[in-house]
Structure 1
Amino acid sequence: MYGDALRVKRAVFSQGLRRAARAALRELDGLGILCASGTAYLDDTNPAETVHTVEVVAVTEALAQALTPVASGLVRVTSHVEIDD
């Protein structure tokens, strides 16, 4: 119908999995450990597929609990460590 103008590729993560990830990210907002959030490419073979990224100041049990329902690889967590002077 659209010729070469449209390419369709099956998504790696379903809309249901993405909704679960967004709900978990909203929960992280209330934990007081979130520095930043954004998105990144899934990998070089899937440049159109994105994953969520979060930067936190601490890895806590509450963080782990919030991310438990999230599909593996859909949220990347980076922890910042502060060095005492």
Structure 2
Amino acid sequence: MDASGALRFPAAPTPRSRIRGYRIEPGEVQGLATDPRVGSAAVLARRMPQGHVALIGYVVPRAGADTEEARAGVWSAVRASARRELPD
């Protein structure tokens, strides 16, 4: 509560992860899934059993990508975009 009596809610912190020395925001990586065939995408940072942190991406093809070939095209486009934009 501030001096005027109004309640103030601090903004939620942006989820960030440090992966191999790089500060990564999952939302930035999720933005790589801009192919028009992508319906939705999400990225999570997970600690792997070996102890390191890895980004795990989930991609859902847009409605109508109902063949295995169409889905494979979406996965290929997202992977290619990630390889171009993200550090190794």
Measured against the shorter chain, the TM-score band is 0.3 to 0.5
User: Structure 2-normalised TM-score?
Assistant: 0.39
User: Structure 1-normalised TM-score?
Assistant: 0.40
Which structure has the higher relative contact order (CA within 8 Å, separation 6+)? Answer: 1
